């Protein structure tokens, strides 16, 4: 009696993987290759010979080829860079065929690389160079021509029509899988005595790197009629294999767009060359990857990018503005003219007023945002670029012992609701070359740092906001809304610029060299008598990691309210209208009626810089200037730090972190002023700006502001005379020759303690 399967058994049988009988047959020719082996009308041997001629020619890749065979490192697959620009200059048809059929032409290029080494070694042996050895190398293409069908702006530009073509795309690695070892090739020999053909069977990427055992001789060596089914395995090759997830840059997306991602396959020397958070440029071709087939289930296919070349950091400046020689000349002329007229701070104010120009005043906040975007000089920064013939700039001092020194300042804005704090976040995201915007509401430590994700039976790390913002800006709204247990996860990222991860058996360290610009609301109404940590519900260890903390208050003030209302209404006046008619209750005419007073427009101010120009200027000063502290700046910062240590109750925020913050802010202001050395003027502004963050221990809170506000005066150069006098008098310093400072008693400004 037949047994009737239960419903559960039927469901199990339906989900079992189908195992149809398989028979090996020679693979069909790739697209573009005819059955007789011709590719675009030329045999592969001809393409091979043309590649060899390119590699061995003196003005081609011969120098790189000689460096390859002269390497004495350990054995293994090494990459050999091939510039597409050089190939097209040598043979345009050769590159065109490679762009259209990379899956066929890249292996031909690898074979040509091996043959070119043999030719080079033969000539080197005749010349007595017996120390050169052939290397197992893979050609790595780079600098793909900027053609629309091959140069993709982002991952969303990849289409089904691009399958099989060579493309170049930039993005951010958000997930990096484990490095595996796969069997990439197996070599067999026909067992027939009359044949003895040797042939290779390669892993099929489209079928999940499947290697099928042959059941029929493919007829190599001209033995097309061989019917032998006996084969002897004579060799096999293994390869490193890794899959990573590449996501398009967030800052290049329109509002409301969801970032797309594509799986990238890394093999041989490319495996383990990237980590989560890296910005990379990938050259490769698209292939289909079929997922496992199940009975009664529709088969699914995924498009993957098989990488041929990966450049880590090549996309780090993808979002940065391109600075031309004309831009550099214009910026140098701007500051040379301002210095010649004796009004350098007026030129600075024009740049500062370009930050959120729709907001009147708030110059201290605008200055702080701009300095946070520019940043100081860190140990990981690239050396500044020099103009041809320009003298070398003074190098900033290195951290002792080779330790990493943070150069990115952090900024926290605290203010009551409706104080317009978020526009500063949006503007920072617009100007920064790389920015990730998030909110503290519902954000977890995994979302800020990284998370462990199980994909395909294995655990991988997926980058969070701080890792994705590496070498950029991370804007966090509602910072105090982050769960207190999750805030501790960002302590290391804000100070050491790294993230130590130990999740799901994965132990590693990720880079998080990002500037944090955060905004938060106080607990209820801001209480000036209470401590900052009480007002914000943020612990002191976290607050000490912010270089500048500014409180934005909206207290009623008649003069300020009139200035703000006039600035707002003047932007809505009709063209040609030069006055506003208002009624002033304090001035009464006959009969006690308010007298009508005509209020003229304010004097015209320089037009604010467009966001794109400001973006270009920030990129320019960060790439070309690495200011070190001058003698006067060093003495002033030392005196202020000593004064804060003496005035702080129980230490407060006057820690060594505060001194490092002063250095970063002074260097950022020197960059803003287009200087190679941070002067006393930069130190004065840094001291006044950081002093506003000290709250109850502030020295200059009622004396001077870090920048002249529009409600008081618009002449910052004249106001700086008052600023410098107030700061030096409070710290017991006085100017000496040049930019040096001395104690009021005549001692050096760098010795002793302040008076």
- Comparing 122-131, 144-153, 176-185, 418-427, the range with the smallest average pLDDT is 122-131
Q: Residue 581 — pLDDT band, cuts 50, 70, 90?
A: very low
Taking the C-alpha atoms of residue 151 and residue 12, their distance in angstroms, rounded to an integer, is 47
Which residue, 706, 670, 703, is CA-closest to 688? Answer: 706
As a whole number, mean pLDDT of residues 200-208 equals 83
Q: 38-142, what's its fold?
A: mini-chromosome maintenance (MCM) complex, chain A, domain 1 (3.30.1640)
Question: CATH 2.40.50.140 occupies which residues in the chain?
Answer: 155-312
- Comparing 68-72, 236-240, 275-279, 610-614, the range with the smallest average pLDDT is 68-72
Structure confidence at residue 384 (pLDDT): 67
Q: Residue 220 — pLDDT band, cuts 50, 70, 90?
A: very low
- The pLDDT tens digits of the residues spanning 243-298 come to 999 998 877 776 667 888 999 999 998 998 888 888 899 999 999 888 777 787 88
Residue 574 has pLDDT above 70, yes or no: no
Higher pLDDT, 572 or 502: 502
Q: Encode burial over 446-459: b for 16+ CB neighbours within 10 A, e otherwise.
A: ebbbbbebeeeeee
- The pLDDT tens digits of the residues spanning 526-535 come to 777 788 888 8
Higher pLDDT, 177 or 193: 177
- Comparing 232-241, 574-583, 696-705, 713-722, the range with the smallest average pLDDT is 574-583
pLDDT more than 90, % of the chain: 21
- The pLDDT tens digits of the residues spanning 336-382 come to 999 999 899 999 999 998 998 888 888 889 999 999 999 999 877 76
- The pLDDT tens digits of the residues spanning 83-138 come to 888 888 888 899 999 999 998 899 999 999 888 888 888 776 655 566 677 788 89
DSSP codes of every residue in 169-236:
EEEEEEEE---EEEEEEEEEEE--TTT--EEEEE-BGGGTSB-PPPSS---GGG-TT-----EEEEEE
- The pLDDT tens digits of the residues spanning 441-461 come to 878 888 888 888 887 677 888
pLDDT more than 70, % of the chain: 78
Structure confidence at residue 222 (pLDDT): 46
Which residue, 488, 466, 474, is CA-closest to 517? Answer: 474
Residue 684 has pLDDT above 60, yes or no: yes
Structure confidence at residue 402 (pLDDT): 54
Taking the C-alpha atoms of residue 674 and residue 344, their distance in angstroms, rounded to an integer, is 10
- Comparing 82-91, 117-126, 408-417, 544-553, the range with the smallest average pLDDT is 117-126
Residue 649 has pLDDT above 70, yes or no: no
Place of tokens 């509401």: 441
Average pLDDT, the chain: 79
CA-angle at 478, arms to 474 and 480, nearest 5°? 105
As a whole number, mean pLDDT of residues 383-388 equals 60
Question: CATH 3.30.1640.10 occupies which residues in the chain?
Answer: 38-142
- Tell me: domain 155-312, CATH 2.40.50.140, correct? yes
Lookup: tokens for 154: 């982002």
Query: What's the pTM value of the predicted model, to 2 decimals?
Result: 0.77
- The pLDDT tens digits of the residues spanning 29-81 come to 555 665 555 677 778 888 889 998 888 887 666 778 878 877 766 567 888 88
Q: Please, are residues 396 and 362 in contact by the beta-carbon 8 Å criterion? A: no
Residue 388 has pLDDT above 60, yes or no: no
Which residues are CB-contacts of 353 (< 8 A; sequence separation ≥ 6)?
A: 363, 366, 605, 606, 608
Q: What are phi and psi of 720, to 5 degrees?
A: -65, -30
Structure confidence at residue 600 (pLDDT): 44
Residue 221 has pLDDT above 50, yes or no: no
Structure confidence at residue 14 (pLDDT): 41
Structure confidence at residue 1 (pLDDT): 45
Structure confidence at residue 383 (pLDDT): 65
């Amino acid at each position: 009696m037949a047994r009737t399967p239960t419903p559960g058994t039927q469901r199990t049988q339906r989900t079992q993987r189908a195992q149809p009988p398989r028979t090996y047959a020679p693979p069909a020719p790739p697209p573009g290759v005819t059955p007789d082996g011709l590719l675009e009308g030329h045999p592969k041997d001809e393409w091979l010979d043309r590649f060899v001629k390119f590699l061995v020619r003196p003005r081609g890749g011969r120098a790189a080829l000689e460096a390859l065979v002269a390497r004495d490192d350990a054995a293994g697959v090494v990459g050999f860079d091939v510039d597409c620009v050089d190939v097209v200059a040598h043979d345009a048809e050769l590159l065109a065929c490679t762009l259209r059929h990379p899956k066929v032409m890249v292996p031909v290029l690898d074979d040509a690389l091996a043959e070119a080494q043999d030719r080079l070694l033969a000539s080197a042996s005749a010349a007595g160079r017996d120390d050169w050895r052939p290397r197992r190398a893979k050609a790595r293409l780079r600098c793909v021509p900027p053609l629309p069908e091959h140069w993709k702006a982002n991952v969303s530009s990849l289409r089904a029509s691009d399958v099989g073509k060579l493309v170049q795309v930039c993005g951010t690695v958000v997930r990096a899988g484990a490095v595996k070892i796969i069997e990439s090739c197996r070599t067999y020999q026909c067992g027939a005595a009359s044949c003895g053909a040797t042939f290779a069977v390669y892993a099929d990427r489209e079928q999940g790197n499947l290697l099928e055992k042959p059941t029929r001789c493919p007829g190599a060596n001209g033995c097309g009629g061989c019917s032998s089914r006996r084969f002897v395995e004579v060799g096999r090759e293994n390869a490193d294999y890794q899959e990573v997830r590449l996501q398009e840059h967030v800052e290049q997306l329109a509002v409301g767009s969801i970032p797309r991602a594509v799986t990238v396959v890394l093999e041989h020397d490319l495996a383990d060359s990237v980590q989560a958070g890296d910005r990379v440029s990938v050259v490769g071709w698209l292939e289909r990857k079929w997922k496992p087939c199940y009975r009664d289930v529709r088969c699914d296919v995924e498009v993957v990018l098989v990488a041929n070349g990966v450049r880590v950091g090549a996309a780090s400046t993808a979002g940065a503005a391109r600075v031309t020689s004309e831009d550099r000349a214009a910026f140098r002329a701007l500051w040379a003219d301002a210095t010649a007229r004796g009004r350098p701070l007026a030129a600075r104010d024009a740049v500062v007023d370009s930050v959120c120009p729709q907001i009147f005043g708030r110059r201290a906040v605008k200055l702080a945002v701009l300095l946070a975007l520019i940043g100081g000089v860190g140990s990981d920064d690239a050396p500044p670029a020099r103009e041809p013939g320009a003298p070398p700039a003074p190098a900033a001092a290195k951290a002792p012992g080779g330790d990493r020194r943070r150069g990115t300042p952090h900024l926290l804005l605290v203010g009551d609701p409706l104080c317009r704090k978020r526009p500063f976040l949006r503007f920072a995201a617009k100007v920064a070359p790389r920015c990730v915007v998030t909110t503290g509401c519902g954000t977890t430590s995994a979302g800020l740092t990284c998370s462990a994700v199980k994909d395909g039976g294995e655990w991988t790390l997926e980058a969070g906001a701080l890792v994705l913002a590496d070498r950029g800006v991370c804007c966090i709204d509602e910072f105090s809304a982050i769960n207190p247990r999750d805030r501790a996860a960002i302590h290391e990222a804000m100070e050491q610029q790294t993230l130590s991860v130990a999740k799901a058996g994965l132990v590693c360290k990720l880079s998080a060299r990002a500037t944090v610009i955060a905004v938060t609301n106080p607990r209820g109404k801001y209480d000036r008598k209470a401590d900052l940590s009480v007002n914000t519900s943020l612990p002191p260890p976290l607050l000490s990691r912010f270089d500048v903390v500014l409180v934005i208050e909206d207290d009623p003030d008649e003069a300020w309210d009139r200035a703000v209302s006039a600035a707002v209404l003047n932007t809505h006046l009709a063209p040609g209208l030069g006055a506003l008619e208002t009624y002033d209750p304090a001035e009464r005419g006959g009969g006690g009626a308010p007298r009508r007073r005509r209020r003229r427009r304010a004097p015209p101010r320089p037009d604010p810089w467009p966001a794109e120009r400001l973006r270009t200027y920030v990129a320019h000063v960060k790439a070309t200037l690495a200011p070190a502290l001058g003698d006067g700046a060093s003495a002033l910062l030392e005196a202020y730090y000593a004064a804060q240590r003496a005035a702080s109750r129980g230490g407060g925020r006057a820690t060594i972190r505060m001194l490092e913050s002063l250095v970063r802010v002074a260097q950022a202001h020197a960059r803003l002023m287009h200087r190679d050395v941070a002067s006393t003027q930069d130190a004065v502004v840094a001291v006044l700006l950081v002093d506003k963050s000290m709250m109850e221990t502030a020295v200059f809170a009622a004396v001077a502001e870090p920048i002249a506000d529009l409600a008081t005066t618009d002449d910052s150069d004249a106001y700086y005379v008052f600023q410098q006098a107030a700061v030096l008098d409070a710290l017991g310093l006085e100017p000496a020759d040049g930019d040096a400072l001395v104690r009021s008693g005549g001692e050096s400004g760098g010795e002793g303690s302040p008076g």
